[in-house]
Amino acid sequence: QGQLVQSGAEVQKPGASVRVSCKASGYTFIGYYIHWVRQAPGQGLEWMGWINPNSGGTSYAQKFQGRVTMTRDTSINTAYMELSRLRSDDTAVYYCARMYYYDRWFDPWGQGTLVTVSS
């Protein structure tokens, strides 16, 4: 069925960077895209972009272009999302999710990583 386990909560200062990891297990890591979605406190869901773990190819939402970098390490079945030049409004829970390409559904989701940006 598959499982995604994310790294722990982070507190960062404005202007800093944060890297969140997403470790896959129970399925063939390179066979499915990984997407990243964030959720500000008490707010809805916002799509950030995807990475193809097989090729390393990426696509980012325009809002995050220039600030987000998605990478992967196939030797340890882990995807990463790095967000730079952090602002207070980047405070959110960041989720990774596996996408089944054919039907474009998202499952499973990681448990989420809270990133707090505060001076």
Partner 1 sequence: IVITQTPLSAPVTLGQPASISCRSSQSLVDSDGRTYLSWLQQRPGQPPRLLIYRVSNRFSGVPDRFSGSGAGTEFTLKISRVEAEDVGVYYCMQTTQFPYTFGQGTKLEIK
Nearest approach in angstroms of CB 36 to partner 1 is 11
Residue of 25, 59, 74, 88 that binds partner 1 (CB under 8 A): 59
Site membership for partner 1, residue 68 (CB under 8 A): no
Q: Does 7 bind partner 1 (CB under 8 A)?
A: no
Degrees to nearest 5, angle at CA 27 with 22 and 29: 50
Tell me the Cα Rg of the chain.
14
Which residues ranging from 24 to 53 are in contact with partner 1 (CB under 8 A)?
35, 37, 44-47
Contact region for partner 1 (CB under 8 A) — 10-18, 19-27, 71-79, 92-100?
Answer: 92-100
- Answer yes or no whether residue 13 interacts with partner 1 by CB under 8 A: no
SS3 for 9-75 is: CEEECCCCCEEEEEEEECCCHHHCEEEEEEECCCCCCEEEEEECCCCCCEEECHHHCCCEEEEEECC
5 touches partner 1 by CB under 8 A: no
Residues that bind partner 1 (CB under 8 A): 35, 37, 44-47, 59, 61-63, 95, 97, 99, 103-107, 109-112
